[in-house]
């Protein structure tokens, strides 16, 4: 049930950012910042947020990659992945999934492999 709720809410949040001028973005781990302090246009910020939402949604639906373990950041279409995954297969799959999303220019993975105990 939580996965379904996450899949439903992520695109809504991404779309709400596109309708705002100065808005709080990235309130989670980054502590948030105002769009007015970002050199990207509101349209680019909205596009980046939509890419992040698409990548996260794809991870939620995947059985190998966990959306809860990977932080996805997008800047001008360039996606950076941070987090811990259980295997090299999960790293490769996470990168492949991210690259397959519309609007992604490149993917950089800073994922640490930590096998489950």
The pair of three-digit structure tokens given for residue 87, joined into one six-digit string = 């295997």
Tell me, rounded to whole angstroms, the distance of Cα 13 from its chain centroid: 12
Q: For residues 29 and 60, which has the higher predicted lDDT (pLDDT)?
A: 60
Tokens 């949040």 -> residue:
13
In the 8-state DSSP scheme, what is residue 67?
T
Reported as a single tens digit per residue, the pLDDT across 76-97 is 999 999 999 999 999 999 999 9
- And the tokens for 76? 């001008």
Are the CB atoms for 103 and 50 separated by under 8 Å? yes
- Per-residue pLDDT band for 37 (boundaries 50, 70, 90) equals confident
User: Closest Cα to residue 105, out of 63, 43, 31, 55?
Assistant: 55
C-alpha–C-alpha distance, residues 20 and 10, integer Å: 16
Pair 97, 54: CB distance under 8 Å? no
Distance of CA 106 to the CA centre of its chain: 13
Predicted confidence (pLDDT) per residue in 4-25, tens digit: 445 555 555 554 444 444 444 5
* Chain position carrying tokens 């349209």: 43
pTM of the predicted protein model: 0.69
């Amino acid at each position: 049930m939580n996965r379904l709720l996450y899949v439903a809410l992520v695109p809504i949040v991404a779309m709400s950012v596109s309708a705002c001028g100065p808005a709080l973005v990235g309130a989670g781990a980054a502590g948030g910042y105002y769009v007015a302090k970002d050199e990207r246009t509101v349209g680019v910020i909205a596009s980046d947020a939509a890419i992040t939402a698409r990548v996260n949604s794809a991870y939620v639906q995947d059985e190998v990659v966990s959306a809860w373990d990977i932080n996805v950041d997008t800047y001008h279409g360039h996606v950076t992945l941070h987090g811990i995954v259980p295997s090299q297969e999960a790293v490769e799959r996470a990168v492949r999934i991210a690259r397959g999303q519309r609007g992604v220019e490149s993917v950089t993975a800073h994922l640490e492999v930590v096998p489950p105990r």
